[in-house]
Amino acid sequence: MFILDSHCDTPSQIMRLRDISLDNPYAHVDIPKLKRGGVDGVFFALYVPASLDADPTAARKYAYTLLDGVRSSLSEDSEAVITMDPQQALANKANGLISVFLGLENGSPIVSTDDLQGFHNAGIRYVTLCHTGNNHICDSCATQVKRWNGLSPFGKELLSEMNRIGMIADVSHISDEAFYDVVGLSDKPVVATHSCCRALADHPRNLTDDMIRRIAEKNGVVQVNFYPLFLDSGFRAVLNASGIEDRGEAVENEFIADPSDPAKRKAWHYVLDELSALKRPSYKRIVDHIDHIVNLVGIDFVGFGSDFDGISVTPQGLDDISGYGLILEEMRARGYSEQEIGKAASGNFFRVMKACQ
């Protein structure tokens, strides 16, 4: 069985001076943890903040800086290698190597088809069309006021070109209207690389039952996110009552601005300790979302997209990517066969990759 996580924000942590060859405290993802978790492949998302949406040149430079960081972290003697397709990934597993795929989270660096082709040539295999802001491609689910009420004219052109060259369209983060534009216009399967079910947790980042069905109709896949706020609506009240969120964001921003400062790093780690002490939904809630998708559309349209290293708090009992075995064991306890678990672990996402490529 090949285990794949379709969305980790580890490149941002590399920018914050993480050495992924080491077993880092307070890290969700590094090579030792991947090995302990039996995770064979992972998508490293090059996350471009929405604050750069208005400046595509700066956004593009930032994305390539992240890419350079990933490349430099995977030296010639690394146990992980940048990977382009499922066939290479399976060969890597046979050779004892971990596969690192690349995604671009937020399409704001892309203002032309040449930009898109450049990212594809660099190894990027999916593009999350936007993040927390409306950009020149589409609207975000996070904004109250929408700019395009769906995809922009350029967004529709870009989607067509993505289909043509084999770049996967990721609908996580986009508005409901943009979602329906994408599934209505795409000639290829689409994915939600890190999203949960709105029926189980009422959050705009999550997908409605109809959205899940539409993704399945496109032969796509929903990769379940591990963030407690997306897993269980009740965690919002817990987080609000703690008072940590706003204070913690300020501390994190100071750390991001100067990750070499030991005091700022320690202050951020203290916030993470506070968050971990909160009452959080169990990791078993991840399988509740898997069950919901399976009950709606079947086992062929679900997978794992943790959002590790992009979330500040994890489900109870699952501190980092080394705990993947707990999810698989919970699926076994609920009656899933090894073949079904293999589909969720990677088979479904690899099917989409092959169909798009």
User: What is the per-residue pLDDT across 4-61, written as a single tens digit (0 to 9) for each?
Assistant: 999 999 999 999 999 999 999 999 999 999 999 999 999 999 999 999 999 999 999 9
> In this predicted model, what pLDDT tens digit does every residue of 194-244 receive, in sequence order?
999 999 999 999 999 999 999 999 999 999 999 999 999 999 999 999 999
> In this predicted model, what pLDDT tens digit does every residue of 241-264 receive, in sequence order?
999 998 999 999 999 999 999 999
Mean pLDDT of 131-148: 98
Q: Determine the pLDDT at residue 78.
A: 86
> In this predicted model, what pLDDT tens digit does every residue of 79-92 receive, in sequence order?
999 999 999 999 99
Strand partners, 221: 191
pTM of model > 0.95: yes
**Are 7 and 309 a contacting pair, CB within 8 Å?**
no
Q: Determine the pLDDT at residue 250.
A: 96
Q: Determine the pLDDT at residue 232.
A: 98
> In this predicted model, what pLDDT tens digit does every residue of 51-82 receive, in sequence order?
999 999 999 999 999 999 999 999 877 899 99
Vertex 309: Cα angle to 90 and 281 (nearest 5): 100
Tell me how far apart the alpha carbons of residues 91 and 95 are, in angstroms, rounded to a whole number. 6
Q: Determine the pLDDT at residue 62.
A: 98
Token pair 């490149």 in the structure block, residue: 11
> In this predicted model, what pLDDT tens digit does every residue of 284-340 receive, in sequence order?
999 999 999 999 999 999 999 999 999 999 999 999 999 999 999 999 999 999 999
Q: Pseudo-torsion of CA 293, 309, 353, 172, nearest 10°?
A: 50
Residue 138 backbone phi and psi in degrees, to 5: -165, 180
Which sequence spans correspond to the domains of the chain?
Answer: 4-232+282-356, 235-280
The mean of the pLDDT values for the chain is: 97
Q: Determine the pLDDT at residue 76.
A: 73
Q: Determine the pLDDT at residue 77.
A: 76
Mean pLDDT of 165-184: 98
The fraction of the chain above a pLDDT of 70, given in percent, is 100
How many other C-beta atoms lie within 10 A of the C-beta of residue 114? 9
Q: Determine the pLDDT at residue 340.
A: 98
Q: Among 174, 184, 112, 107, which Cα is nearest to 147's?
A: 174
Mean pLDDT of 113-136: 98
Tell me the DSSP string of 35-82: HHHT--EEEEEEE--GGGTT-HHHHHHHHHHHHHHHHHHS-TT-SEEE
Q: Domain 4-232+282-356 belongs to what topology? A: TIM Barrel (3.20.20)
